[in-house]
Structure 1
Amino acid sequence: MEEIQVESIFGTSSDTAVDFEITIAAFLSTMILAYPDAYWLFVPVNYFVPFLLLFLTLVRRIAIINSFYDSKGVFTATKPFLVLSTIYSLFYFSVQLSEIVVGLISVPNGVLSLVFLCILSFVPILLYELVFEDLFYFIAAVSHNMILSGIQNTRFRKEFGRIVNQCLQSTTVPRSDWPDQLVEAYQGEYTRDDDASLGERIGGTLGVIAAFAFFLLIAVLLFFTGYSLDPSNSVLSILSAILLFISVFFTDGFTRILYARYGYHHPEQSYFSAKQTVIAICVIYFSWVSYAGLLGLETIL
């Protein structure tokens, strides 16, 4: 099997991708500045993040226009900050909503913010698939490339191959429009590359195992942190633990799909980067811990 040229089957270009980044940056900046003082803790950041979003997209647009400059370094350096700002914007908007409705229902702000964050990160994905109907098709294409780039030579290739198969079963894109690679992959099996060395096979397998171990470690951390919100109330603590876990990975998935589908990617960069997951975890974890912790302290005082 061969990798798929994702940009060609979706008709995207570098110009339209960066234009999308500029548009989403303007939207997120407006979303923050519409209510920058919803909670005093975030006020300094709320004036810096909109500036950062607009500045980063400006730099990325200039890099695209300048055809005599190798822009890989610019896009590699700016992408993490663009993702960080996007995730923070979603989190802060959930804080805005929780501060508005907290007087209407007797649920702590910390829990409400996580509820709204789950909604903000999941509902757009659902609406996107209902309206445009190509989300599963896109995930299948990108997952196919990820398997061929390394997972194909591990003992986990069948499990990841089922992701591609399930996405193709769920998509509404006619099979006649699928590239030959996906037609071959559908109901098929990813076989190991005979030219792969023993070191590549072992290294790839250990990499997948390490990723699962990291996922479990983060899950334990998130559950423990959410549960510690109010140990005296077991129901509330368990709810917080579950919501914190779900909101982190919903937000991570949403931003991955958002920038993978419409953002700009240098030809030598991957669509789904583990760095984005780490950024999502850190931003939401530390922002929520600070927010919930100070709310609890103010209640005590």
Structure 2
Amino acid sequence: MAKNGKRDREKEKVKNKDKGSRHRLDASPDPPDAESARHYQKELDRLQIEIAHLQAWVKKTGARIVIIFEGRDAAGKGGVIKRLTERVSPRVFRVVALSAPTDREKTQIYMQRYIQHLPAAGEVVIFDRSWYNRPGVERVMGFCTDEQAKRFLELAPRFEAAMVESGIVLLKYFLDVSEEEQERRFRQRIGDPLRQWKLSPMDVESYRRWWDYTRAYDEMIRMTDAEYAPWWIVPSDDKKQARINCISHILSSIPYEPVKFDEPEFGKRQKRPDDYIETTRTRRLVPNVY
């Protein structure tokens, strides 16, 4: 009985060992999602190096660049902008995301509050929504009249032509998302404290008025698409794909060249002065929690 029990245990051990070996052989090295995530990060890293080269070129040449991001709510504009700017200086790449106009601004010429944000030499200005609020959300939500929106659509191409003629590089992107994907992202925000702030009353209205916005955006793009300032549509149901495609297009649309980096000479650090006396006053230190 003891010998039989021992043999059974040995057989079970070998069986489990073989089972484990087969499991290791059958298992793929990495799940497909992990491989996709690595590929995305590798491509994003490469593009962000190119964005750094673009920044150096903009500073050296005094170029002026305006990039406009418009699109459906929850289409991923913020995600593209974040990846575009997270590795560069905010003094060169400025993001402009204006709130609702003040009572004073409502009495100004419509373009007036946007003009003050246009770039000087050596700057890239990114508009997270722009003057195209007028034919979009303002028109659909009744914040301006149809006559005001139509007048804007007539004047905007002339305004943008003047910008381009002055030497500004103007790029316009419209991020589009399907009804199903927009709803999924809205519902995802409801249960996520880190995203709840993104779900505004305007988002809820844009969900309900999908086709009103569709008509408004169709007319906006049709009337303001020009050879000197075309609209580029970015399908964004796949956020990562949209980011890579959009950033790649931005880089390909600007004739920048890598600028040689002049490595600085640090020299020698100064010696501690003989007359320096450390303070004896107690200083407030942030507690160690990590």
Q: Same fold (TM over 0.5)?
A: no
Structure showing greater radius of gyration is 2
Q: Going by fraction, where is strand more abundant, 1 or 2?
A: 2
TM-score bucket of the superposed structures, by smaller chain: under 0.3
TM-score norm. by structure 1 comes to: 0.23
Q: Going by fraction, where is helix more abundant, 1 or 2?
A: 1
